[in-house]
Amino acid sequence: MSRIGERLQRLIAASGPICVAHYMAEANAHYYATRDPFGAGGDFTTAPEISQMFGELIGLWLADLWDRAGRPLGARYVELGPGRGTLAADALRAILKAELEPPVELVETSPALRRAQAERLPQAAWHNDIAALPEDGPILAVANEFFDAVPARQLVATEAGWRERLVACEGGRFVPVAGNPIPSEAIPPALQGLRAGEILETSPAAGAIVRQLARRIIMHGGAALIVDYGHVRTGVGDTLQAVSAHDYADPWIEPGERDLTVHVDFEALAAAARDQGARVHGPVPQGQWLQAMGIDLRASALSRASPEQARAIAAARARLVAPDQMGELFKVMALTSPDWPEPAGFQ
């Protein structure tokens, strides 16, 4: 069993089963703190690691919006969970073309990834959470594949009503079990009375982060672009998954040694942002958004500049936009200040 697994086993033996969000938080904190999981030799590959086009188009989106908002002073580039810093480096190159060189504020808890980010972004400042950001200036914020790693609770429908899904340890193995009853008011009306065994996922932590982002945008202006895989409407289903060496793995073994994620509930995130007064755009499929932002033109320009790379560029473009690859499953949603103009890519 992994080191975190042994710790959780002792905790469960001492004080009983823990909730799924607790299990996910401990596992992911250890996982990200101890490695660089990206690329062919790692566990998974994210969009910015596939092609520079992804980060460049995000940078262009932010710069265009900032420009049409009247080029307000003091804007800060903010990224949640910046991985290796690749997206930020590509986005900032595009932003610089608009003659904006914003301070770079990275929200990252992993010491290993902070070191990787510092190599590409020596000018950056780091924060453990969004509440620690400097309090002035509009934000130009990005979160790619961040919210899927934020801990989520799972609620399970039983014959006796909804229950919190807990993680127990039986015979040295982690197993999900039905725990404390959940008051029926906590369940959306459309999902009351489902079949026993159905799972509803909810992430109070993700909602709290979006509320903070939205509050910040309302107070000082700005925009945030959220890209992740997930569903447009709140629904039922167990989406907790682990990925290891580019393959699906069992989320209930070796916590801390594999990435645990859930599909992002965009409807819940949108509601949290609107609740604070932010405007919400999308979500739209990633492929549609990248095409609206001009990925085809950018791919042609890059291929003309490096003809020997044309096949690789075409393959990367297809991976990002094709509906059977990342184009449909991944969604793009934006939050903006009500005083800022209509963002590109969502018409």
Ligand X SMILES: C[S@@+](CC[C@H](N)C(=O)[O-])C[C@H]1O[C@@H](n2cnc3c(N)ncnc32)[C@H](O)[C@@H]1O
Q: What is the DSSP letter of 343?
A: P
CA distances from 166 to 22, 25, 75, 155 (A): 9, 14, 43, 9
Neighbours of 13 (CB within 10 A): 9
CA distance 51 to 43: 18
Decide whether 69 or 133 has the Cβ nearer to ligand X: 133
Name the residue with the smallest CB distance to ligand X: 81
Residue 28 engages ligand X in binding (rule: CB under 6 A): yes
**From candidates 2, 109, 244, 325, binder to ligand X by CB under 6 A:** 109
Residue 111 Cα distances to 28, 78, 108, angstroms? 13, 18, 8
Query: Would you say 203 or 336 has its CB closer to ligand X?
Result: 203
Asked whether position 264 contacts ligand X by CB under 6 A, the answer is no
Per CB under 6 A, the list member of 51, 52, 144, 337 interacting with ligand X is 144
Which range, of 139-147, 229-237, 279-287, 320-328, touches ligand X by CB under 6 A?
Answer: 139-147
Query: How would DSSP label each residue in 310-322?
Result: HHHHHHHHHHHH-
Burial 252-279 (b: 16+ CB within 10 A, else e): bebbbbbbbbbbbbbbbbbebbeebebb
Name the one range near ligand X by CB under 6 A: 101-109, 157-165, 233-241, 245-253: 101-109
82 contributes a contact to ligand X by CB under 6 A: yes
Judged by CB under 6 A, does residue 270 bind ligand X?
no
The CA-based dihedral angle spanning residues 124, 130, 132, 136, taken in that order and rounded to the nearest 10 degrees: 80
Distance of CA 338 to the CA centre of its chain: 23
Residue 48 is a binding residue for ligand X (CB under 6 A): yes
For residue 84, the minimal CB distance to ligand X (Å) is 6
How many C-beta atoms lie closer than 10 Å to residue 327's C-beta?
A: 19
Using the rule CB under 6 A, is 152 a contact of ligand X? no
For ligand X, the closer of residues 187 and 269 by Cβ is: 269
Q: Residue 132 Cβ, how far from ligand X at the closest point, in Å? A: 11
Total number of residues that touch ligand X (CB under 6 A): 18
Contacting residue, 18, 60, 69, 87, with ligand X by CB under 6 A: 87
Beta bridge partners of 169: 174
Q: Give me the sign of the Cα torsion angle 101, 65, 218, 71.
A: positive
* 110 is a site residue for ligand X (CB under 6 A): yes
Residue 224 sits in the site that holds ligand X (CB under 6 A): no
Among 149, 226, 313, 333, binds ligand X (CB under 6 A): 149
Taking contact as CB under 6 A, which single stretch among the options 80-88, 91-99, 211-219, 244-252 is the one that binds ligand X? 80-88
Interface residue list for ligand X (CB under 6 A): 28, 32, 46, 48-49, 81-83, 87, 107-110, 113, 144-146, 149
